Structure 1
Protein backbone atom coordinates (compact mmCIF):
# COMPACT_ATOMS: atom_id res chain seq x y z
CA UNK A 1 0.00 0.00 0.00
CA UNK A 2 2.76 2.48 0.96
CA UNK A 3 4.68 1.58 -2.19
CA UNK A 4 1.71 2.58 -4.39
CA UNK A 5 1.31 5.89 -2.53
CA UNK A 6 4.99 6.77 -3.02
CA UNK A 7 4.83 5.86 -6.72
CA UNK A 8 1.69 8.00 -7.13
CA UNK A 9 3.37 10.97 -5.44
CA UNK A 10 6.45 10.64 -7.68
CA UNK A 11 4.33 10.33 -10.82
CA UNK A 12 2.26 13.41 -9.90
CA UNK A 13 5.40 15.37 -9.06
CA UNK A 14 7.10 14.50 -12.36
CA UNK A 15 3.94 15.12 -14.41
CA UNK A 16 3.52 18.58 -12.94
CA UNK A 17 7.19 19.47 -13.46
CA UNK A 18 6.80 18.49 -17.13
CA UNK A 19 3.48 20.34 -17.45
CA UNK A 20 4.72 23.61 -15.98
CA UNK A 21 7.95 23.43 -17.99
CA UNK A 22 5.86 23.07 -21.16
CA UNK A 23 3.63 25.92 -20.00
CA UNK A 24 6.61 28.19 -19.36
CA UNK A 25 8.12 27.36 -22.75
CA UNK A 26 4.79 27.93 -24.53
CA UNK A 27 4.43 31.34 -22.94
CA UNK A 28 7.97 32.34 -23.87
CA UNK A 29 7.57 31.07 -27.44
CA UNK A 30 4.33 33.04 -27.71
CA UNK A 31 5.96 36.23 -26.44
CA UNK A 32 8.91 35.78 -28.83
CA UNK A 33 6.60 35.38 -31.83
CA UNK A 34 7.01 31.63 -32.46
CA UNK A 35 3.25 31.09 -32.84
CA UNK A 36 3.18 27.69 -34.51
CA UNK A 37 5.80 26.16 -32.26
CA UNK A 38 3.94 27.56 -29.22
CA UNK A 39 0.70 25.99 -30.47
CA UNK A 40 2.46 22.64 -30.99
CA UNK A 41 3.96 22.72 -27.46
CA UNK A 42 0.53 23.58 -26.03
CA UNK A 43 -0.87 20.26 -27.31
CA UNK A 44 1.55 18.33 -25.10
CA UNK A 45 1.15 20.82 -22.27
CA UNK A 46 -2.59 20.21 -22.03
CA UNK A 47 -2.29 16.43 -22.38
CA UNK A 48 0.15 16.31 -19.47
CA UNK A 49 -1.93 18.81 -17.45
CA UNK A 50 -5.14 16.80 -17.76
CA UNK A 51 -3.35 13.58 -16.87
CA UNK A 52 -1.75 15.07 -13.73
CA UNK A 53 -4.83 16.97 -12.57
CA UNK A 54 -7.07 13.93 -13.03
CA UNK A 55 -4.72 11.85 -10.86
CA UNK A 56 -4.97 14.42 -8.07
CA UNK A 57 -8.74 14.97 -8.39
CA UNK A 58 -9.41 11.21 -8.38
CA UNK A 59 -7.50 10.95 -5.10
CA UNK A 60 -8.42 14.10 -3.18
CA UNK A 61 -8.41 12.17 0.06
CA UNK A 62 -4.63 11.74 -0.27
CA UNK A 63 -3.05 15.05 0.87
CA UNK A 64 0.40 13.92 -0.26
CA UNK A 65 -0.85 13.96 -3.88
CA UNK A 66 -1.94 17.58 -3.57
CA UNK A 67 1.40 18.48 -1.98
CA UNK A 68 3.27 16.67 -4.79
CA UNK A 69 1.17 18.57 -7.34
CA UNK A 70 2.00 21.94 -5.76
CA UNK A 71 5.67 21.06 -5.32
CA UNK A 72 5.85 19.89 -8.94
CA UNK A 73 4.37 23.20 -10.03
CA UNK A 74 7.06 25.20 -8.24
CA UNK A 75 9.88 23.00 -9.49
CA UNK A 76 8.39 23.14 -13.00
CA UNK A 77 8.59 26.94 -13.01
CA UNK A 78 12.29 26.75 -12.16
CA UNK A 79 12.95 24.02 -14.75
CA UNK A 80 11.08 25.96 -17.45
CA UNK A 81 13.08 29.10 -16.70
CA UNK A 82 16.34 27.12 -16.86
CA UNK A 83 15.36 25.63 -20.23
CA UNK A 84 14.51 29.08 -21.58
CA UNK A 85 17.80 30.44 -20.28
CA UNK A 86 19.69 27.69 -22.13
CA UNK A 87 17.74 28.26 -25.36
CA UNK A 88 18.32 32.05 -25.10
CA UNK A 89 15.78 32.93 -27.77
CA UNK A 90 15.73 36.39 -29.29
CA UNK A 91 17.98 39.41 -29.12
CA UNK A 92 19.12 41.94 -26.55
CA UNK A 93 20.29 45.49 -26.82
CA UNK A 94 23.31 46.23 -24.67
CA UNK A 95 23.86 49.89 -23.83
CA UNK A 96 27.33 50.83 -22.66
CA UNK A 97 28.47 54.13 -21.17
CA UNK A 98 32.21 54.56 -20.77
CA UNK A 99 34.54 57.41 -19.87
CA UNK A 100 37.12 56.04 -22.33
CA UNK A 101 36.03 58.31 -25.17
CA UNK A 102 39.38 58.44 -26.97
CA UNK A 103 40.19 54.71 -26.90
CA UNK A 104 37.96 53.69 -29.84
CA UNK A 105 36.28 50.86 -27.94
CA UNK A 106 33.49 50.70 -30.52
CA UNK A 107 35.91 49.50 -33.22
CA UNK A 108 37.35 46.86 -30.89
CA UNK A 109 33.84 45.58 -30.18
CA UNK A 110 33.05 45.62 -33.91
CA UNK A 111 36.20 43.55 -34.40
CA UNK A 112 34.47 40.80 -32.39
CA UNK A 113 31.58 40.79 -34.90
CA UNK A 114 29.09 43.01 -33.09
CA UNK A 115 27.23 45.89 -34.71
CA UNK A 116 27.84 49.03 -32.67
CA UNK A 117 26.26 52.46 -32.87
CA UNK A 118 28.14 54.99 -30.78
CA UNK A 119 28.13 58.68 -29.99
CA UNK A 120 29.61 61.12 -27.51
CA UNK A 121 27.36 62.13 -24.64
CA UNK A 122 27.79 64.40 -21.63
CA UNK A 123 27.44 63.11 -18.08
CA UNK A 124 27.91 64.64 -14.65
CA UNK A 125 31.68 64.18 -14.87
CA UNK A 126 32.20 65.15 -18.52
CA UNK A 127 32.24 63.43 -21.89
CA UNK A 128 31.17 59.82 -22.17
CA UNK A 129 31.05 57.37 -25.04
CA UNK A 130 27.62 55.82 -25.49
CA UNK A 131 27.37 52.56 -27.39
CA UNK A 132 24.31 50.61 -28.40
CA UNK A 133 24.92 47.02 -29.41
CA UNK A 134 22.36 44.49 -30.66
CA UNK A 135 23.25 40.83 -30.16
CA UNK A 136 21.57 37.43 -29.95
CA UNK A 137 20.70 36.64 -26.32
CA UNK A 138 23.03 33.66 -26.34
CA UNK A 139 25.94 36.09 -26.85
CA UNK A 140 24.84 38.60 -24.20
CA UNK A 141 27.24 37.57 -21.43
CA UNK A 142 30.18 37.14 -23.81
CA UNK A 143 29.64 40.72 -24.96
CA UNK A 144 29.19 42.08 -21.43
CA UNK A 145 32.33 40.30 -20.21
CA UNK A 146 34.32 41.64 -23.18
CA UNK A 147 33.14 45.19 -22.46
CA UNK A 148 34.18 44.72 -18.81
CA UNK A 149 37.65 43.63 -20.01
CA UNK A 150 37.89 46.82 -22.07
CA UNK A 151 36.55 49.02 -19.27
CA UNK A 152 35.89 47.50 -15.84
CA UNK A 153 34.08 50.71 -14.82
CA UNK A 154 31.71 50.87 -17.79
CA UNK A 155 28.03 51.29 -17.05
CA UNK A 156 26.20 48.47 -18.85
CA UNK A 157 22.46 47.94 -19.27
CA UNK A 158 20.84 45.25 -21.38
CA UNK A 159 17.22 44.89 -22.40
CA UNK A 160 15.12 43.03 -24.93
CA UNK A 161 13.98 45.14 -27.87
CA UNK A 162 10.37 44.63 -28.87
CA UNK A 163 10.55 45.47 -32.58
CA UNK A 164 13.15 46.03 -35.29
CA UNK A 165 13.13 48.22 -38.36
CA UNK A 166 16.07 49.18 -40.58
CA UNK A 167 19.74 49.02 -39.73
CA UNK A 168 22.63 46.58 -39.90
CA UNK A 169 20.99 43.51 -38.36
CA UNK A 170 17.42 43.56 -39.69
CA UNK A 171 17.82 41.05 -42.58
CA UNK A 172 19.50 38.47 -40.33
CA UNK A 173 17.00 39.09 -37.54
CA UNK A 174 14.03 38.66 -39.85
CA UNK A 175 15.34 35.24 -40.97
CA UNK A 176 15.88 34.10 -37.37
CA UNK A 177 12.59 35.37 -36.00
CA UNK A 178 10.08 34.12 -38.59
CA UNK A 179 6.94 33.04 -36.74
Structure 2
Protein backbone atom coordinates (compact mmCIF):
# COMPACT_ATOMS: atom_id res chain seq x y z
CA UNK A 1 0.00 0.00 0.00
CA UNK A 2 2.95 2.33 0.66
CA UNK A 3 4.12 1.80 -2.92
CA UNK A 4 0.69 2.87 -4.22
CA UNK A 5 0.91 6.07 -2.15
CA UNK A 6 4.42 6.78 -3.47
CA UNK A 7 3.25 6.20 -7.05
CA UNK A 8 0.22 8.47 -6.58
CA UNK A 9 2.38 11.24 -5.07
CA UNK A 10 4.96 10.86 -7.83
CA UNK A 11 2.24 11.35 -10.42
CA UNK A 12 1.01 14.48 -8.60
CA UNK A 13 4.50 15.90 -9.09
CA UNK A 14 5.30 14.44 -12.49
CA UNK A 15 2.24 15.47 -14.50
CA UNK A 16 2.21 19.18 -13.50
CA UNK A 17 5.93 19.26 -14.39
CA UNK A 18 5.07 17.69 -17.73
CA UNK A 19 2.46 20.39 -18.29
CA UNK A 20 4.84 23.21 -17.39
CA UNK A 21 7.68 21.73 -19.44
CA UNK A 22 5.44 21.56 -22.49
CA UNK A 23 4.43 25.19 -22.01
CA UNK A 24 8.06 26.23 -21.61
CA UNK A 25 8.93 24.44 -24.86
CA UNK A 26 6.10 26.16 -26.73
CA UNK A 27 7.21 29.54 -25.35
CA UNK A 28 10.85 28.88 -26.37
CA UNK A 29 12.10 28.74 -22.76
CA UNK A 30 14.57 25.95 -23.55
CA UNK A 31 16.65 26.14 -20.35
CA UNK A 32 13.62 26.01 -18.06
CA UNK A 33 12.10 23.21 -20.13
CA UNK A 34 15.31 21.19 -19.90
CA UNK A 35 15.51 21.61 -16.12
CA UNK A 36 11.90 20.52 -15.69
CA UNK A 37 12.55 17.62 -18.08
CA UNK A 38 15.38 16.28 -15.91
CA UNK A 39 13.22 16.34 -12.76
CA UNK A 40 10.30 14.90 -14.68
CA UNK A 41 12.45 12.03 -15.98
CA UNK A 42 13.64 11.03 -12.50
CA UNK A 43 10.10 11.01 -11.10
CA UNK A 44 8.78 9.10 -14.11
CA UNK A 45 11.41 6.36 -13.83
CA UNK A 46 10.66 5.87 -10.13
CA UNK A 47 6.87 5.71 -10.60
CA UNK A 48 6.91 3.46 -13.66
CA UNK A 49 9.59 1.27 -12.07
CA UNK A 50 7.36 0.67 -9.06
CA UNK A 51 4.36 -0.16 -11.24
CA UNK A 52 6.30 -2.50 -13.53
CA UNK A 53 8.03 -4.27 -10.65
CA UNK A 54 4.75 -6.03 -9.79
CA UNK A 55 2.18 -6.12 -12.56
CA UNK A 56 -0.19 -8.16 -10.40
CA UNK A 57 -0.56 -5.24 -7.96
CA UNK A 58 -3.69 -3.46 -9.17
CA UNK A 59 -3.42 -0.86 -6.38
CA UNK A 60 -0.19 0.41 -7.92
CA UNK A 61 -1.78 0.59 -11.38
CA UNK A 62 -4.83 2.38 -10.01
CA UNK A 63 -2.59 4.80 -8.06
CA UNK A 64 -0.68 5.55 -11.27
CA UNK A 65 -3.86 6.25 -13.25
CA UNK A 66 -5.57 8.26 -10.49
CA UNK A 67 -2.39 10.24 -9.83
CA UNK A 68 -2.07 10.99 -13.53
CA UNK A 69 -5.64 12.34 -13.68
CA UNK A 70 -5.24 14.39 -10.52
CA UNK A 71 -1.86 15.63 -11.78
CA UNK A 72 -3.45 16.85 -15.02
CA UNK A 73 -5.98 18.84 -13.04
CA UNK A 74 -3.28 20.33 -10.80
CA UNK A 75 -1.06 21.10 -13.81
CA UNK A 76 -3.87 22.94 -15.59
CA UNK A 77 -4.67 24.88 -12.41
CA UNK A 78 -1.03 25.88 -11.86
CA UNK A 79 -0.63 26.92 -15.51
CA UNK A 80 -3.78 29.04 -15.31
CA UNK A 81 -2.49 30.78 -12.17
CA UNK A 82 0.99 31.36 -13.59
CA UNK A 83 -0.47 32.70 -16.85
CA UNK A 84 2.89 32.56 -18.60
CA UNK A 85 3.29 34.67 -21.72
CA UNK A 86 1.28 37.30 -23.52
CA UNK A 87 -2.14 37.60 -25.08
CA UNK A 88 -3.42 39.84 -27.86
CA UNK A 89 -6.94 41.07 -27.28
CA UNK A 90 -9.26 42.68 -29.80
CA UNK A 91 -12.39 44.48 -28.61
CA UNK A 92 -14.95 45.45 -31.24
CA UNK A 93 -17.27 48.16 -29.84
CA UNK A 94 -20.17 50.06 -31.42
CA UNK A 95 -18.70 53.58 -31.11
CA UNK A 96 -15.55 55.41 -30.11
CA UNK A 97 -15.29 55.40 -26.31
CA UNK A 98 -12.48 57.75 -25.21
CA UNK A 99 -13.29 57.13 -21.54
CA UNK A 100 -12.71 53.40 -21.96
CA UNK A 101 -9.52 53.86 -23.97
CA UNK A 102 -8.14 56.36 -21.43
CA UNK A 103 -8.98 54.08 -18.50
CA UNK A 104 -7.30 51.08 -20.15
CA UNK A 105 -4.17 53.14 -20.77
CA UNK A 106 -4.17 54.54 -17.21
CA UNK A 107 -4.09 51.05 -15.73
CA UNK A 108 -1.18 50.08 -17.96
CA UNK A 109 -2.67 48.44 -21.04
CA UNK A 110 -1.25 49.32 -24.44
CA UNK A 111 -4.21 50.17 -26.63
CA UNK A 112 -4.29 50.96 -30.33
CA UNK A 113 -7.56 52.03 -31.90
CA UNK A 114 -9.05 51.92 -35.36
CA UNK A 115 -12.33 52.51 -37.10
CA UNK A 116 -13.55 49.38 -38.87
CA UNK A 117 -16.42 48.64 -41.21
CA UNK A 118 -19.12 46.32 -39.83
CA UNK A 119 -21.95 44.76 -41.86
CA UNK A 120 -24.22 47.80 -41.67
CA UNK A 121 -22.13 50.56 -40.13
CA UNK A 122 -18.77 51.64 -38.81
CA UNK A 123 -17.54 50.24 -35.51
CA UNK A 124 -14.53 50.90 -33.36
CA UNK A 125 -11.75 48.39 -32.68
CA UNK A 126 -9.37 48.31 -29.72
CA UNK A 127 -6.17 46.27 -30.03
CA UNK A 128 -4.08 45.37 -27.00
CA UNK A 129 -1.21 43.04 -26.20
CA UNK A 130 -0.74 42.31 -22.51
CA UNK A 131 0.64 39.71 -20.12
CA UNK A 132 -1.72 36.74 -19.83
CA UNK A 133 -2.20 37.33 -16.11
CA UNK A 134 -4.00 40.59 -16.98
CA UNK A 135 -6.42 39.19 -19.59
CA UNK A 136 -9.36 38.81 -17.18
CA UNK A 137 -8.79 42.35 -15.91
CA UNK A 138 -9.02 43.66 -19.49
CA UNK A 139 -12.27 41.75 -20.05
CA UNK A 140 -13.73 43.16 -16.79
CA UNK A 141 -12.91 46.73 -17.78
CA UNK A 142 -14.40 46.28 -21.26
CA UNK A 143 -17.56 44.77 -19.76
CA UNK A 144 -17.94 47.71 -17.36
CA UNK A 145 -17.76 50.25 -20.19
CA UNK A 146 -19.16 48.39 -23.20
CA UNK A 147 -21.59 45.54 -22.45
CA UNK A 148 -22.20 44.85 -26.16
CA UNK A 149 -18.50 44.58 -27.08
CA UNK A 150 -17.27 41.60 -29.05
CA UNK A 151 -13.94 40.61 -27.49
CA UNK A 152 -11.54 37.94 -28.76
CA UNK A 153 -8.08 37.02 -27.58
CA UNK A 154 -5.24 34.87 -28.83
CA UNK A 155 -1.63 34.18 -27.91
CA UNK A 156 1.00 35.71 -30.17
CA UNK A 157 3.96 33.47 -30.93
CA UNK A 158 6.38 36.38 -30.87
CA UNK A 159 6.50 40.14 -31.13
CA UNK A 160 9.12 42.85 -31.37
CA UNK A 161 9.35 46.41 -30.12
CA UNK A 162 6.46 48.63 -29.26
CA UNK A 163 4.98 49.81 -26.05
CA UNK A 164 4.78 46.51 -24.26
CA UNK A 165 8.15 46.06 -22.64
CA UNK A 166 8.73 49.29 -20.74
CA UNK A 167 5.66 51.44 -21.03
CA UNK A 168 3.20 49.02 -19.46
CA UNK A 169 5.26 48.67 -16.30
CA UNK A 170 5.70 52.45 -15.89
CA UNK A 171 2.02 53.24 -16.46
CA UNK A 172 0.82 50.58 -14.04
CA UNK A 173 3.18 51.86 -11.31
CA UNK A 174 2.01 55.42 -11.95
CA UNK A 175 -1.63 54.34 -11.71
CA UNK A 176 -1.02 52.45 -8.44
CA UNK A 177 0.63 55.53 -6.92
CA UNK A 178 -2.30 57.65 -8.08
CA UNK A 179 -4.78 55.22 -6.43
CA UNK A 180 -2.80 55.11 -3.17
CA UNK A 181 -2.69 58.90 -2.88
CA UNK A 182 -6.45 59.25 -3.55
Tell me whether the two structures share a fold, i.e. TM-score over 0.5: yes
CA contact (8 A) 1:121 1:129 kept: yes
- For the pair 1:51 / 2:51, whether they are aligned, the reply is no
Q: Please tell me whether residue 157 in structure 1 is matched to residue 152 in structure 2.
A: yes
Residue 118 of structure 1 aligns to a residue whose secondary structure is: strand
- For residues 61 and 150 of structure 1, do their structure 2 counterparts lie closer, same or farther at Cα, with a shift above 3 Å needed? same
CA-CA distance at 1:102 after TM superposition: 5.2
Deviation at 1:58, TM superposition (A): 0.4
Match of 1:166 among 161, 168, 171: 161
Q: Aligned residue pairs: how many? A: 168
- Root mean square deviation of aligned Cα: 1.7
Shift in Å at residue 87 of structure 1? 0.9
SS at match of 1:69: helix
Question: 2:114 maps to which residue?
Answer: 119
Q: Structure 1 residue 23: deviation in Å? A: 0.9
Question: How far 1:81 moved relative to its partner?
Answer: 1.1
**1:87 — aligned with what?**
82
Alignment CA distance shift 1:171-1:103 (3 Å) = closer
Tell me: CA distance 1:30–1:171, structure 2 relative to 1, closer, same or farther (3 Å).
farther
Instruction: Output the TM-score relative to the length of structure 2.
Output: 0.86
Give matches, 1:1-179, under 5 Å. Answer: 5=1, 7-101=2-96, 103=98, 105-170=100-165
> What SS is found at the alignment partner of 2:160?
coil
The alpha-carbon deviation at position 66 of structure 1 amounts to: 0.8
> Following TM superposition, by how much is the alpha carbon of 1:21 offset from its aligned partner in structure 2, in angstroms?
1.1
Distance 1:60 1:22 in 2: 26
Q: CA deviation at 1:106?
A: 2.1
Structure 1 pair 88–101 and aligned structure 2 pair: CA distance change class (3 A): same
* Shift of residue 46, structure 1, vs aligned partner: 0.5
Shift of 1:155: 0.5
Unaligned regions of 5+ residues in structure 2, if any? 169-182
Please give the secondary structure, in 1, of the residue aligned with 2:59.
helix
Secondary structure in 2 aligned to 1:113?
Answer: coil
Deviation at 1:41, TM superposition (A): 1.1
